[in-house]
Amino acid sequence: MPKRYIPNDKWSRRAAEEGYRARSVYKLMELDDKFHIIRSGMTVLDLGAAPGSWLQYAAEEVGSKGRVIGIDLTEIAPIDNVETYVENITNIEAIQKIVPETVDLIISDLAPKTSGIRDVDQWKSIELSQAVVETAQQILRPGGKCILKVLRGADFDDFITECKEKWKKVKITSVQASRDRSNEIYVILWK
């Protein structure tokens, strides 16, 4: 009989028990609790959405009157009341074809494929974060919010300075569900 996969930390075990696809869902839940970002009826776009735990939570929160769209390079297994697309999130024109209207909220927990070289991985994270922010500037409605994960490192302060120049409000926070050894931080932007 093959061994059954048993998640190795409390967040992964909890996600498996509660039917979520990944432990990262608790990061979004914590951010939502702190900042009240997701409401019923919203249109939410998740960039870098695979495997889909943030989509699952967003769909629960926006309800039947809301709309949740996920975009990733990887195909995402179907989720009730969620639209998913395979596309490169750095291709803003393609994203605007998928989502021609403005959205209320953009969420992104994406991370680059890691090389193991911390500076390179952090630079790639900033590059992806810049793509998310650029997309948000194009399709986020006035008053909307963008929440994204960024890996802290040498380019982080410059990235935050750029955000502060272009956004009404910028908040930086960490979450308890992040792994202890992680250098990830969450940035919330208000348009």
pLDDT score, position 180:
59
Per the DSSP assignment, residues forming a β-bridge with 69 are: 45, 83
The domains found in the chain, sorted by start residue, are 29-190 (3.40.50.150)
For residue range 87-131, list pLDDT tens digits in order.
Answer: 999 999 999 999 989 999 999 998 777 767 777 777 788 999 999
pLDDT value for 11 = 66
pLDDT at 182: 63
Using CA atoms, how far apart are residues 172 and 156, in angstroms rounded to an integer? 11
What lies within 8 Å, CB to CB, of 142 at 6+ separation is 191
pTM: 0.89
pLDDT on residue 122: 79
Q: Which residues are catalytic?
A: 149
From the list 150, 153, 154, 174, the residue with the least C-alpha distance to 163 is: 150
Rounded to an integer, the average pLDDT of 64-82 is 96
Q: Give, in order, the Cα–Cα distances in Å from 96 to each of 48, 84, 86, 92, 176.
A: 15, 14, 14, 6, 34
In this predicted model, what pLDDT tens digit does every residue of 34-44 receive, in sequence order? 999 999 999 99
